[in-house]
Copies of this chain bind each other. A is one copy, B any other.
Amino acid sequence: MGANTLKRFVPAVDWLMQYDCRALPADLLAGFITAVLLVPQGMAYATLAGLPPQVGLYASVVPPVVYALLGTSRTLSVGPVSVAALLVANALASSSAGAYLADALLLAAMSGVVLLVMALLRLDVLVNFLSHPTLSGFTSGAAILIILSQLSNLLAISAPSSESGVEMTLSLVNHLPNFDPLTAALGGAGVALILLARAPLVTLLVRMGVSENGAHIASRAGPLAVIAVLTLCVGVFQLDQKGVAVVGTLPKGLPSPSLDFLRFDRVLELLPSALMISLIGYVESISVAKVLAFRRRQKLNNNQELIALGASNIAAAVTGGMPVAGGFSRSTVNFSAGARTQLAAIVTAVLVGLVALFFTPLFYHLPKAALAAIIVVAVSSLLDWRGLVNAWRYDKADALTLLVTFAGVLLFDIEIGLLLGIAAGIGVFLWRSSRPHTAIVGRIPGTEHFRNVKRHHVETWPGLVLLRVDRSLFFANINYVDDLVAEQVAEHPQLKHLVIICSAMNSIDYSAVEALDQLADSLHRAGISLHLAEVKGPVMDRLERYGIERWLAPGKVFLSTEEAVQYLKDN
């Protein structure tokens, strides 16, 4: 296997072979900073998925290393992400307690296989069917669902979980009087601490003379600091004896690789969820990877990204981890902390691995409310109010798509919401495309220019109608054109020739050509000839393949509208 073949399958060879040792300190530092963020995040997202905290750590060790070798982004940070965690919780709502973990691993493996199949079939274009309004509504809805699900942990309310945001809210309100003040205080303190560790801490440190960069790096430690402070509180004051729920004993070490999760009878049932997890995971990963690659003028390969993420998810399943993706905020942190290559991600993975191997006992007194606080703050940035306002201002139909998706996620569940959103996005587009701009035109006297009869003073001829359609014809707009022609026929009893001006058509699909064939026939039986004018070359080639001379006859194809008028006006 030559170096180039190797490079094609393992893009890491590219940066490994020409690694510039001057980048090493930056990669080491970025790897450390990202690890400081990933340890609490990993545990938190595992609990969000309804899994034991350590499953989030396991997903942060081998999968990022696999991605580092196979991925084409230099700075993407692969590991547990919030929306995928919610999708896992949703998919496993009906799993038995005994099978829950195995089902989660199976989901990761299946998502991995789905991504690899997508790579094989070059289906990376599938993400093109997700419009921004759909994604924005989906993400905002998911963020609210996540926050609602964590409120019960923050307040120690044992509200039954549900897939519908409305039911969750009602149940939270009903159980609110039973909240535990101590847990709520810890949770509130956690939220406050993380928020304070952001802009306020940076401002403070900069005022104290710390460099801007250093201040930002310190502020990344917010979540870990919250964990440390709250765990210490619980440990010192023995708050776990006073009703504060803690994480408790976590196993030390990493699970040995295993395929025990494979249960083929579960595959069919989990397949829709696996499809969603891979699609959403891929979209999140590729979006952030694209933004970061641009900034350093690097290139991504969408198909290789599918392979890398697919392999990472399979690796996650085999090593006991939950589904993974490239996280938006985490990758940004990694990038702005100075990561140059995926070596930073490998450093992060090693550090998280060390935590899982040796330091899990430190988390015994970690209150669950602290993890909930981390989640709530992290996902609250996903709420995209600005997107709704902007969309509304720019285009009401797009804003409606956003709202339908958002409402679908909250009223039904996250998967139905996403499907509704995709349908709404595509529906709006088809609906828009189904009403092409058209004009009945006439000739500006003394010229060969043809303009809209409604807006200009133009010549027309009694037996002749000139219809200009300003868009390619396809199945969703051909009926509109058909109806328009029918209207003209009903309005002009003297009509003998109808010319469709095709100057703006780049293509005519099979539905449209069949409809034109039928239209020509119907018009012919009513004593009217259908003609075309200004047909572009490639379109004409196809029409000839469909035998246009035969079905258009006695109608003709004219090179120019003027030629059509000269020929038809007195016939």
Interface residues of A (CB under 8 A from B): 125, 127-133, 290-291, 293-300, 302, 387, 390-391, 393-395, 398-399, 425-427, 429-432, 434, 437, 470-471, 474-477, 479-480, 482-483, 486-487, 489-490, 493, 506-507, 509-511, 513-515, 518-519, 522-523, 525-526, 542, 545-546
Contacts and interface: CB of A to CB of B under 8 A. Distances in A.
12 contacts: A128-B477, A129-B430, A132-B510, A290-B482, A294-B489, A300-B486, A390-B510, A391-B510, A393-B545, A395-B542, A429-B430, A429-B509
A546 B390 contact: yes
Given A291-B518, A291-B522, A299-B490, 9 more contacts: A129-B476, A131-B509, A131-B510, A132-B475, A294-B489, A295-B526, A297-B490, A390-B510, A394-B545
Contacts of A437: 506
Contacts of A477: 128
Copies in the complex: 2
Contacts of A474: 131, 429
A533 to B, nearest CB: 20
4 closest A-B pairs (Cβ-Cβ)? Answer: A294-B522, A131-B475, A132-B511, A398-B510
A398 B510 CA distance: 6
A430 B426 contact: yes
A535 to B, nearest CB: 15
Nearest to A470: B506
A298 B546 contact: no
Contacts of A387: 514
B302 A475 contact: no
Nearest to A292: B522
B490 A298 contact: yes
B476 A514 contact: no
B132 A302 contact: no
Contacts of A509: 131, 395, 398, 429
A526 B395 contact: no
A546 B515 CA distance: 39
Contact of A526 (B296, B486, B546): B296
Nearest to A131: B475
Nearest to A489: B297
